[in-house]
Structure 1
Amino acid sequence: MPEQESGPKAGQVSDAVKGNWVDRLAPAWSRPYLRLSRADRPIGTWLLLLPCWWSLFLAIAAGGDPRLSDLWIFAGCGAGAWLMRGAGCTWNDITDRNFDGMVERTRSRPIPSGQVSVKQAVAWMVAQALVAFAILLTFPPLAILLGVVSLAPVCIYPFAKRFTWWPQIFLGLAFNWGAILGWAAHAESLSWPPLVLYLAGIGWTLFYDTIYAHQDKEDDALIGVKSTARLFMERTPAWLARFLVATVALMGLVVIGALLPQASPLGLVLALMGPWAMGMHMFWQLRRYDDQDMDRLLMLFRSNRNAGLLPLPFFAAAFLV
C-alpha cells in the first residue's frame, strides 16, 4: 500500500507545520532527509536568514551604493541559509539522537524514530554543506572566510546544553553570523556596526529560543539537559523583557552608527523605525506569553519570522529616499 499522508506511519514529526509540503508533496524516499533538514518547519531558515538580510540592507544604506551583485548576495544568502540550517539541524539530530528519543516532542524525529541511520544522516549533512560551500565561493574573499569560521559555533551548539545553563547564547552565536557575513559580502570589509548587529541578533535569539525551550523544560529536567527556560522558570517574563530592550537598543545603535555619516534625516528616521517595529512585535509576544500553553509557545516562537521581517522595509527605504 502507498504511504499514508498523515498519522504516525507517515513518519511525520510532532512539531512540524501541519499540512506542510514535505508530508504532502515530497517523494516518500526524500521525506526523512527533508525532515532532518527541518524543511517541514521553515521558521529556523528564516531565523538564520534574516540577520543576513538586515546586514546586507544596512551595508547598502551605509555605503549608498546598491549594486546588481547585491541581488545575488540576497538570493545566495537565502539558498545558503536553507542549506546550512539543514546541515546544522542534521548535525544537531546526530549528536542528540539519544536525548531525542527520551523527549516527547522530539522522539518522532527521523533518527530516533528509525527513518534514517546515523551514516545516512552524516552523508546528507555533508551533501548539504558542500552545496552551501559552492554558493559561498561566489562571494568576496572576506565573506568566504567568515562563512568557513561560522562552522565553529554550529559544531559546538548541540553540546552546549550539556555544560551550560545558557545554550541559547551558543545558538545565537551560530544563527546570527549572517549579521557579519551579509555586511562583508557587500562592503568587502568590516566595521563596528555589523559586530553590534550580531549582538542584537543574539539578544533576539535569547528571546525567542527561551520561549521555545519552555516546551521541553519538564523532559529536559528529567534527562539533565540545561536551558534558559529551566534557569529562569517563573522569572522568564522579566528576562524576556531584558532581551527585548537589548535587541532594540543595540539595533538602534547600529542604525545610527551605520547611517549617520551620510544618510538624510528622513532616511535615518525611517531606518530607526525598523528596530522600533520589531520591538513592538516582541512586546506583543511578551504580553501573550504563557508557559503552560504549549501551542501558544510554539505559535509565539514561529511568529518571530514576522518580527524579523519588520525592519527590512524600513532599512530598504533608508537607501531609497
Structure 2
Amino acid sequence: MNFKNAIALSTFLIGSLSVFAQIEDKRGIVAKGAELVKVKDGFSFTEGPAVNRMGDIFFTDQPNDKIYKWSAGSNKVTLFKEGTGRANGLYFQLDGTLIAAADLKNELWAIDQNTGKETVIVPSFKGKKLNGPNDVWVRPKGGLYFTDPLYARPYWEGIRSKEMEQDGQHVYFLSSDRSELFRVTEDLTQPNGIVGTPDGKHLYIADIGAKKTWKYDVMEDGYLTNKTLFCEMGSDGMTIDEKGNVYLTGKGVTVFDRNGTQVAHIPVPANWTANVAFGALDRKTLFITAMDAVYTLKMKTRGVW
C-alpha cells in the first residue's frame, strides 16, 4: 500500500479505543476480556507481517527500507534487515525462506531468514518492469502468488515514477521451481491483499481499487477459476483463521466468515491498518501493522500457516 495514499483513504479517528469504538465480535473469535496492545511505535508505515515456524512475526517499515522481527516469546521487536529493496508484503515458504515484495526496483526477493542475504527471484515480466509487487501468498504445495498494483513511489525516477510498463494491474503465479511466471488475473482494478486457504484450494484477492474481495478456485497448475464475489470490501492486507474467517484491513480489521458475512470488527487507533497475521507458537495472537505502530490482540480462534 502507498503510505501517503493510506492517510487519504481513511477517515478513521486517531485516538484510544473508547466506548464508541468497542470490538464487535458476533462469533466469539476474540479471547474473552482481550484488549488491543500496542507493542511498539515510532515507525513510518508498518506492513507485511509474516509468521515463521516458531510464531515470530517479521514485518516491514516500508518508507525506512527495514524489516523487523517480533519475537513471540519475549514480545520484543528487533531489527532484522536494512536495505530490503523497500520491501512491502512478506510471506514465509515452508523451508523458512522469506519472500519479499521489493518495489524499489519492482522485484520479488527471497531472503535467507538466518543471514538476511537476498536473491532476486522475479526481476521483471516479459522484459518489462512490474508495477510494484505488493503482497504475497505461498501455496502449501509450492509456488506463490503476488499482487502487482501501481502505487507511485517518491523514490522512483524518470518515467517509471509516472507510468507503469505493464498493461494493467494484475496478479501473478510463480512456480515452485521458479521456472514459470504467468498472470492469473487481468480484470481487476487494483489488486492488493491476497491470502489462500490452508488446503491450497481457494484464493482470496482484495481489489482495493474496486472495493471488492474475490474468491477463486486454485488449479493444480496454478491458474485460477470460478471467480466469485466474496464481499463488497477491498483490503490492504489479509489473513485467514482455522474456521475459514477472512480478516480484511483498512479501517481497523474487519472479519468475514467463509460465506462473506461480516462477523467482527476490531477498531485500531490509527489512520490506516495495513496488514494482519496470526503469530505466537499457538497462532492465537493477532498481529496488526498500523501506520507508525504494531499491535497484538489475543484470540480464541487460531490462525493457519
Q: TM-score with structure 2 length normalisation? A: 0.29
Structure whose alpha-carbon radius of gyration is higher: 1
Q: TM-score with structure 1 length normalisation? A: 0.28
- Whose helix proportion is higher, 1 or 2? 1
